[in-house]
Structure 1
Amino acid sequence: MPRSPLALAALATVAVPGLDAYDVRRPAQPGTDYDVAVVIDAHRRRWVVRAPAGAAAGAALEAEVEVLDALAEHTASGALPFAVPQPVGFAHLPEGGRAAVHAEIPGTPLRVDALQPGPGLAADLGRALAALHELPTSLVENAGLPVYEATEYRQRRQAEVDEAARTGKVPPALLRRWEELLEDVAMWRFRPTVVHGDLTAERVLVADGRVSGILGWGDTVVADPADDLSWLLVAASPEAADSVMEAYQLRRTELTDPHLQRRALLAGELALARWLLYGVRSGNTEVVEDAVAMLEDLDEHTRSLDAESSATYA
């Protein structure tokens, strides 16, 4: 049973001594792995309390807390130009684990469909992601989270594609395309960076036309920076995506990665394969049907693009 907002407010008062809860509300998008509430105190300050809904979420929360502790100095120094949650207190749960409380970060979730090209929010988003990818990888290593070399990461992607192929539900042409891209060794010569690992529009907060905060750091790893760009390149308009990438490249200190965008687009496609595998492993036929439909749409889209390309160069 999900915890009620009142129960979460009670946890917040335990976690933060002196917190006088005046009101409590469910967030607009509460999620499934955590019970979440926004607690408003007598001084109108807003606090977010998160309690894991299971053992796996509890372990993820503990790993996230380690990362957030390390990120705090980088936000304080200005190396990260946006805020991250900074837990100020914890409350132990009867079933084990603990709930965490942090001050709410001002802002609303990014609307990718409204992202405009130019030097405004799109460019600021590019700089924010670049700053994230410039963080020292020791931050992740010291937190005990996964660290992948480029070759190892490519092999993980290949294993996912092989498993998806064994389901018999991936269109053959799409499968061949993925295999060819994964066999292109030059495409996978990248320098691993700190990667958020689960970026979505809901996790990127915007205030006054700038990125004000990024949430949800429980999947942080050292891996392919393309993974943090895939959702944007898939969902944003090409013009807005170009502005994001231009600002991103200018902010990065390493030499230009010529295959970054190709890997990012591929990562977006392989997310559908992982969705399919989730459905198969969990026995959820609705998820499997949804994944198959999206894979068929992707196959049709890539076929039409290939046909247009062939006609252009014929």
Structure 2
Amino acid sequence: MPEATPSPPDRPGSTPAPTADAVRRLVGTLLKESPGADGRPGPEVRPVAGGEGHSTWWVGSRHVLRLALDRADSARRRRELRLRDLVRPHLPVAVPTSVAHGEWAPGLAYTLDTVVPGGTAGEHDVSAVGEADLAGMLTGLRDVPARQAETLGVPRAAPRSLEALRRMAVQSAGRLAAADEFDPAALQQFPPGAAVQLAVQPGGAVLVHHGLTGDHLVVRADGRVRGVLAWTEAVLGDPAEDIAGLAAAVGSPAAVRAATLAGYGARPCLRGLWLARCDTLLRLAAALDGKDDAPLPPLRLRLARAWEAILLERVTELKDGDENHP
């Protein structure tokens, strides 16, 4: 689709945060809709809750507008348009489709997407059939040719050190214990040697969404997963990062079952599990210390979901020869 570039809103000096009027003017040249419910010309617009700096807006009931707030974000959004086209044929779930894209201010990109209908993983539990949807998504990501993704500008990301992450998590667990938020004894099941065993082995890099939060999974009331949003942070790297994202978003049992259905063995599943558990400890501790402005209830929920017990960790004895990828 050719770019649509309406006149940007007036911005004296530096670019201000987008306002409802600026957004309405922007989309007014793109969509032909009746006046919004507020009586103003053009479609009704309202910011999406949690959209940083009012960068994400609902436009009527069928579209969502996402605005880049700096040039680095603009580059990611332009890359995302191409990446979504690349991954769409490989996935059994929907990927947003752009109906218009361009610049809302000099050097700052926007994309106007159709809404993928459904709720979020925070609103609906994922069913057994939904786990199969997630498995298909993980399989599809692995099947995307890495060379094609790299040609689009998708960066490579080195795997994180689970040993270093564990050490930080131990400190965070102590902070959370003092606040009566977590029992640090739970970390005893993850000794230093286990972190060494779960290190990534060479040759396992795949396309990783790298942002599988509950808000980015479109889940229907019946538990089916119908779409995956927000592809700007995608990398070529460790598939356990997406397993970790799912563990915090839908719970560790569902995440590991989905990864197993996708053909991943014990090592990447357990690595993803412990990435999620350590990450959720760090995030909640940072929020309690005022270093993370995310609201506490969602962080507590993510921690609880990541720390749900799974059978795999009770019955698996990892050995050096275990495969890191299917």
CA distance in 1, matches of 2:295, 2:117: 38
CA distance in 1, matches of 2:294, 2:228: 30
Alpha-carbon contact 2:126-2:224 (below 8 Å) kept: no
CA distance in 2, matches of 1:31, 1:289: 13
State yes or no: 1:216 paired with 2:222: no
Alpha-carbon contact 2:136-2:262 (below 8 Å) kept: yes
State yes or no: 1:79 paired with 2:85: no
State yes or no: 1:90 paired with 2:102: yes
- Give 3-state SS (helix, strand or coil) of 1:144's partner: coil
Name the residue aligned to 2:49. Answer: 29
Alignment CA distance shift 1:92-1:233 (3 Å): closer
Alpha-carbon contact 1:279-1:285 (below 8 Å) kept: yes
Letter in structure 1 aligned against 2:27: A
Give identity over the alignment, percent. 22
Name the residue aligned to 1:189. Answer: 201
Alpha-carbon contact 1:199-1:231 (below 8 Å) kept: yes
- Give 3-state SS (helix, strand or coil) of 2:262's partner: helix
CA distance in 2, matches of 1:108, 1:197: 20
Q: Give the length in aligned residue pairs.
A: 272
Letter in structure 2 aligned against 1:20: K
Letter in structure 1 aligned against 2:23: L
Letter in structure 1 aligned against 2:231: W
Where do 1:134-145 residues align within 5 Å? 134-145=143-154
Partner residue of 1:270 out of 265, 268, 278:
278
Name whichever structure is richer in helix by fraction: 1
**Cα deviation digits, residues 82-141 of structure 1 (max 9, x gap):** 2323332223316x4132222222332235762233xx2221222123212321222442
Name the residue aligned to 1:69. Answer: 82
Alignment CA distance shift 1:125-1:276 (3 Å): closer
What runs of 5+ residues in structure 2 fail to find an aligned partner? Answer: 1-15, 35-42, 178-183, 315-326
Alignment CA distance shift 1:13-1:133 (3 Å): farther
- Give 3-state SS (helix, strand or coil) of 1:92's partner: strand
Alpha-carbon contact 1:110-1:205 (below 8 Å) kept: yes
Alpha-carbon contact 1:12-1:91 (below 8 Å) kept: no
Name the residue aligned to 2:290. Answer: 284
Name the residue aligned to 2:9. Answer: none
CA distance in 2, matches of 1:89, 1:234: 32
CA distance in 1, matches of 2:243, 2:115: 25
CA distance in 2, matches of 1:97, 1:214: 24
Name the residue aligned to 2:38. Answer: none
Normalised TM-score (structure 2): 0.66
What runs of 5+ residues in structure 1 fail to find an aligned partner? Answer: 250-255, 310-314
Alpha-carbon contact 1:108-1:205 (below 8 Å) kept: yes
Normalised TM-score (structure 1): 0.68
**How far did residue 266 of structure 1 move?**
0.7
Name the residue aligned to 1:252. Answer: none
Letter in structure 2 aligned against 1:125: L
Alignment CA distance shift 1:212-1:61 (3 Å): farther
**How far did residue 66 of structure 1 move?**
1.0
User: What's the RMSD between the two structures over aligned residues?
Assistant: 4.0
CA distance in 2, matches of 1:220, 1:74: 11
**How far did residue 209 of structure 1 move?**
5.7
Alignment CA distance shift 1:61-1:34 (3 Å): farther
